[in-house]
Amino acid sequence: MSAGLARRGRETTRSGKLVIWKCRRCAALLAPLTGCCPSCGAGTLEPIASAGAGVIVSYRVVDRTQDPVCGEPCPSVMAIVALDEGPWVYSWIDGDVPVRSERPVRVRFRSAQPGERFPVFAPRDPD
């Protein structure tokens, strides 16, 4: 990952918001770790805050190593979430495995270390 993309990854959670990108040339909305606009090729992107709501496009249960706190294996769900704004993001899913793939989800933030937070999505009630 380039330094630019690493910086954009950190900016993903800036100010407690999920940050996506808007192309300054063609106004396309792009996923958080996008390096340049796939529509027009421009590299000038500006960060905008996503509402953090979307639907699960696809997901997979991933077996992870033992949790050092609870001591139990922690299967987790990795999903592709289509944000309401359009971009698709890869993220962990918090809570129950969704029964229906079109179930709406909303972003929330978890702390990995003090001062660092990462986005996860959790099921939400339909509006």
- The site for Zn ion (CB under 5 A) is made up of 23, 25-26, 28, 37, 39-40, 42
CB of 20: closest distance to Zn ion in angstroms? 13
How far apart (Å, rounded) are the C-alpha atoms in residues 110 and 25?
Answer: 34
CB of 120: closest distance to Zn ion in angstroms? 29
Nearer to Zn ion, 40 or 51 (CB): 40
Nearer to Zn ion, 4 or 75 (CB): 4
CB of 36: closest distance to Zn ion in angstroms? 8
CB of 82: closest distance to Zn ion in angstroms? 19
AA identity, residue 48: I
Paired tokens of 64: 């992870």
Q: Strand, helix or coil at 5? A: helix
Nearer to Zn ion, 25 or 110 (CB): 25
All residues at 6 or more sequence positions from 122 whose CB lies less than 8 Å from its CB, including other chains: 93, 94, 95, 105, 106, 108
DSSP 110: E
Helices (H) and strands (E) counted in the chain, each on its own, are 1, 8
Nearer to Zn ion, 23 or 79 (CB): 23
